Amino acid sequence: MIAGAALAACLLTAGICPARSKSNKEHLTLSQILSRMNESAKHLKTVSADLEYTKVTVLVNDKSTETGQMYFRNSRSPEILIDFKSPDSKIILFKKDKAQIYLPKINQIQEWNLSKHASLIQEFLLLGFGTDTKELEKTYTMKYLQEEQLGNDMTVLLELIPIKESVAAQLTKVHLWVSEESWLPLQQKFFEAGGDYSIARYSSVKVNRYIPSSKFRILAKDAKRLTM
């Protein structure tokens, strides 16, 4: 999986859906949660956020964290750009049927053709964003676990177990923390078969703000291009 299948690119926080009263809060069923996620997804056009992406390799007790910004534009062919700033600069762009990773230190662009793997965008990178949950249910068995406070936000925690063999070969399960205000993910945790896992956490989220087309380009003069 490119840059950890969890770059999922998107998430959110602004009130696309009306917030519920916390003083008289209802207990929702899984079907009600999925319905609210669908309604929120219908109105999702753009997302921008700070991103913290952590990869944990259990066997060698290694933990690495990258931080930067994520930009997403919803359309027939969703566009995602992740601009990591720390610890090293790196730009990841998913656009149409291509994925590109730009490494400024060596001025190199690595490029993948995703035309034969178009479903990866929805099944991994956009997990919970802009996708009808009926489509997700074709890939995962979904279960509501519990309510959980995540920072200042109350979320519902969902567990997704892969049904598709192509996904199950990469992941044993996914945990998805969904905001009870926006009904979009605030955090994703991807569990791999060997015990390793990765977490994508989003903050300072802005939804449906204008993002120029130029944001979804990699501007790298004289960069060396490698087809992977």
Per-residue model confidence as pLDDT tens digits over 170-223: 899 999 999 998 888 899 999 998 899 999 998 888 899 999 999 999 989 899
Instruction: State in words which class domain 30-227 has.
Output: mainly beta
Per-residue model confidence as pLDDT tens digits over 5-38: 433 333 222 233 333 334 345 688 999 999 999 9
CA distances from 4 to 25, 166, 170, 201, 207 (A): 36, 15, 10, 14, 24
Per-residue model confidence as pLDDT tens digits over 113-159: 987 766 666 667 678 877 788 888 888 999 999 999 999 999 999 99
Q: Which candidate, 2, 13, 168, 7, places its Cα nearest to that of 80?
A: 7
Report CA dihedral (59, 62, 68, 73) to the nearest 10 degrees.
0
CA distances from 1 to 11, 27, 28, 61, 170 (A): 20, 36, 34, 21, 8
